[in-house]
Amino acid sequence: MKISKIAAVAGLTVSFAFTSAQADELRIASQPIPSYAPIFLAKKKGWLDEELAKVGAPTVSLATFAAGPPINESFAAGLQDVGFLGDTPAIIGKAAGLETNLIGKASSGPKSLAVVVADGSPLKKPVDLKGKKVAVTKGSYAHHLLALVLEQGGLTFSDIELINLPNGDIPTALASGAIDAGAVWEPIITKFEAQKTIRVLADGTGIKTGVLTIVASSEFIKKKPEQIKAVLRAYQRGADYIKADPKQAAIDASADVSLEPELLQKVFAKFDYAPVLTDFDISELKKSAAFIKSINLIKSPVDIDAWADRGVNKVALVK
């Protein structure tokens, strides 16, 4: 059945035309980057289908998006049941009225996001960013990291020329001299460090863990909680596989995240993929939410404790 719907998310109005899902289909949205590697491994190894089949969900679709905001739009259009996205877009979507709940942590790792400069740059420490052109994807979790790195140097956004660029465009802009620095996330860091074109000025160590989220439709959680638990169990199996055999896991996930196995294995070492939500994760998300509100990306605060469905997370994952 063809359905049309208008979705307004964080000030963005989008018109959708789509075909309604089959009644027994669970729809998952992710991004083709290492941050969410366990979901691709769970799908490829058959664990996702296996866990869902146990609870009566024989059909699962896994769609990929370039970034978190389009995933929000897809949720607003009623096209997704579960999504993997960064803390900032997930919180922005909730603040904009999306009926979602946080069901797990996709990954975290302070070295998985960083402020970088060109390899030959004279910039050495955060204070050196004063008066410089610094790029970031506005509304990404690297946006918050940049604020924290600037703070380390006694600076604020008013001390730099802030430029909004997609994550993938920042290395080219650095190489051309169009910008002086940029806040990015994996696999950009490892890929371009290997090419000796960028250098890390500062990463999230000690200031931002970089929590990435797993969210789900609140209605879907209420109607089919066992399917949500099955997704989390499958994701945990993918995470366990990476930990037990990172070399083979990198080979298996390479095509899904468009990164050579050798580099992907290095990226894996930067992440904690355990999907269990901890008190520390919640505290980190509260800091992110406060930052997002402080720069007016959201108008209404998000109650992280209420947003997080730690009950379904605990039942699914804590043995």
Selection from 196, 187, 209 nearest residue 262 by Cα: 187
Residue 319 pLDDT grade (very low, low, confident, very high; cuts 50, 70, 90):
low
Do 162 and 136 meet the contact criterion of CB atoms below 8 Å apart? Answer: yes
pLDDT value for 13:
37
Query: What is the structure's pLDDT at 253?
Result: 98
11: exposed, middle or buried (Cβ count in 10 Å: 0-12, 13-18, 19+): exposed
Say how far apart CA 103 and CA 314 lie, in whole Å: 9
Q: Name the DSSP letter for residue 298.
A: -
Q: Do residues 57 and 227 touch, judged by C-beta distance below 8 A?
A: yes
CATH superfamily of 2-109+210-317: Periplasmic binding protein-like II (3.40.190.10)
CA dihedral 216, 220, 225, 231 (to 10 degrees): -50
How sure is the predictor about 7, in pLDDT bands with cuts at 50, 70 and 90? very low
Q: What was the pLDDT predicted at 97?
A: 95
Q: What's residue 57's pLDDT?
A: 79
pLDDT of the residue at 250: 98
- On whether the pTM is more than 0.75, the answer is yes
Identify the band that residue 23 occupies on the pLDDT scale cut at 50, 70 and 90.
low
Per-chain mean pLDDT for the chain: 91
| Whether pLDDT at 316 is above 60 | yes
What share of the chain has pLDDT > 90, as a percent? 87
Is residue 49 scored above 60 in pLDDT?
yes
Given a cut of 50, whether residue 300 has pLDDT beyond it is yes
Instruction: State residue 3's pLDDT score.
Output: 35
Residue span(s) of the chain under CATH 3.40.190.10 come to 2-109+210-317, 110-203
Contact 15, 6 (CB under 8 A): yes
Q: Which residues pair with 18 in a beta bridge?
A: 3
Beta 25-30 vs 59-64: how paired, if at all? parallel
Q: Is residue 9 scored above 70 in pLDDT? A: no
In percent, how much of the chain has pLDDT > 70?
92
Q: Which one, of 213, 265, 209, 276, lies nearest residue 242 by Cα?
A: 265
In this structure, the dihedral spanned by the alpha carbons of residues 39, 40, 45 and 47, taken in order and rounded to 10 degrees, is 20
Q: Cβ distance 268 to 37 under 8 Å?
A: yes
In the predicted model, what is the mean pLDDT of residues 6-13?
40
Tokens of 159: 């001390």
Average pLDDT over residues 273-282: 97
Of 195, 211, 196, 202, which Cα lies nearest the Cα of 181?
202
d(CA 37, CA 271): 10
Please check whether residue 217 is in contact with residue 21, taking contact to mean a CB–CB distance below 8 angstroms.
Answer: no
Mean of pLDDT values over 188-211: 96
What's the CATH class of domain 110-203? Answer: alpha beta
Paired tokens of 213: 């989220």
pLDDT tens digit sequence for 164-176: 999 999 999 999 9
Region of poorest pLDDT, from 21-30, 71-80, 171-180, 283-292: 21-30
* 118, 150, 160 from 174: Cα distances, Å: 6, 18, 16
